Amino acid sequence: QKEVEQDPGPLSVPEGAIVSLNCTYSNSAFQYFMWYRQYSRKGPELLMYTYSSGNKEDGRFTAQVDKSSKYISLFIRDSQPSDSATYLCAAGGTSYGKLTFGQGTILTVHP
Amino acid sequence: DAGVIQSPRHEVTEMGQEVTLRCKPISGHDYLFWYRQTMMRGLELLIYFNNNVPIDDSGMPEDRFSAKMPNASFSTLKIQPSEPRDSAVYFCASSLARRSGADSYQPQHFGDGTRLSIL
Q: Is the pLDDT of residue B19 over 90?
A: yes
Flag residues of chain A having pLDDT under 50: none
CB nearest A97 (choices: B31, B91, B109): B31
Q: Is B101 on the interface with A (CB under 8 A)?
A: no
Q: Which of helix, strand or coil describes residue B55?
A: strand
Give A23-50 pLDDT, tens digit per residue: 999 999 898 899 999 999 999 999 998 8
Between B102 and B30, the more confident residue is B30
- Band of pLDDT at residue B31, cut at 50, 70 and 90: very high
Q: How far is CA B8 from CA A10, A16, A45, A78, in A?
A: 30, 39, 20, 38
Contact list, A104 vs chain B (CB under 8 Å): 42-43
Q: Can you give B6-31 as a three-state secondary structure string?
A: EECCEEEECCCCCEEEEEECCCCCCE
Query: pLDDT at position B98, please?
Result: 75
* Burial class (CB within 10 angstroms; exposed 0-12, middle 13-18, buried 19+) of A17: middle
From the list A97, A63, A59, the residue with the least C-alpha distance to A79 is A59
Q: How far is CA A92 from CA A3, A19, A103, B31, B105, in A?
A: 11, 24, 15, 15, 9
Q: Do B42 and A32 touch (CB under 8 A)?
A: no
Which amino acid is located at A87 in the chain?
Y
- Band of pLDDT at residue B1, cut at 50, 70 and 90: low
